[in-house]
Chain A
């Protein structure tokens, strides 16, 4: 593991050349990890929630700038992510009332 958190090993598994390195601001600090471009958004959220000790039953949404990465069943590549490093935010759902 070459990154700060316990994300997937960027040098292992398929598609090493397609590694999407994500730095994600979360409710419990920054997650850093590497994913295959074909990994789904839901996998990213699951790994971040586990790594950052967030409550699994809570709802979080992943954003790239103002782009909401939904539906979560879509792969990262379908949002335009390819090999490279990206900054994202994991936002707790909720609304003004």
Chain B
């Protein structure tokens, strides 16, 4: 029996699949609550994210940078940097990323945010769907990207 999170992820992945097909992004669903998306940076490098959505939307998804060849997550060589968003700690710094919360991940810059209130966080604005979040990451990889976090 599907969980509410799985049902919502299924619905939102339909929209994300449309966007991915249009934009030429890679998208692979791993299980009911997990998918991998590949997005191009402005230097032509493709970055991948493994996104875990358990507890969504009560909890924001966990957007892990991902190496599709090794299966590793959060490797600094697989992580982009640039601006405040592609944070030097190696996590996407936004309220809609679970990893931005210190209470979840020690790299998370924010101990001042309440994870259960991520949708009401003023920095979330309209990034309330998986597609909105992916579009925001794609934008940052185009505009503010400065290369890999580590060679």
Contact = CB atoms under 8 A, between A and B. Distances in A.
Interface of A: 23, 25-30, 54-55, 58-60, 63, 65-66, 87, 89-97
Nearest to A89: B135
Given A92-B136, A96-B85, A96-B86, A87 B23 contact: yes
Given A66-B42, A96-B87, A27 B132 contact: yes
A60 B125 CA distance: 10
Nearest to B14: A29
Contact of B18 (A30, A96, A97): A30
A59 B135 CA distance: 14
A87 B25 CA distance: 13
Nearest to B23: A25
Given A25-B19, A89-B135, A92-B125, 20 more contacts: A25-B23, A26-B131, A26-B135, A27-B129, A27-B131, A28-B129, A29-B18, A30-B18, A58-B126, A59-B126, A89-B23, A89-B138, A91-B139, A93-B125, A94-B126, A94-B136, A96-B85, A96-B86, A97-B94, A97-B110
A27 B138 contact: no
A16 to B, nearest CB: 24
A94 B19 contact: no
A30 B123 contact: no
Nearest to A23: B22
B94 A55 contact: no
B15 interface: yes
A27 B84 contact: no
29 contacts: A23-B22, A25-B22, A25-B135, A26-B19, A27-B127, A28-B15, A29-B19, A30-B19, A58-B125, A58-B126, A60-B126, A63-B139, A63-B142, A66-B42, A87-B22, A89-B135, A89-B139, A92-B132, A93-B126, A94-B126, A94-B127, A94-B136, A95-B85, A95-B123, A96-B84, A96-B85, A97-B84, A97-B94, A97-B110
Please name the 7 residue pairs, one residue from A and one from B, whose CB atoms are nearest each other, closest first: A96-B85, A27-B132, A96-B84, A58-B126, A92-B126, A29-B15, A25-B19
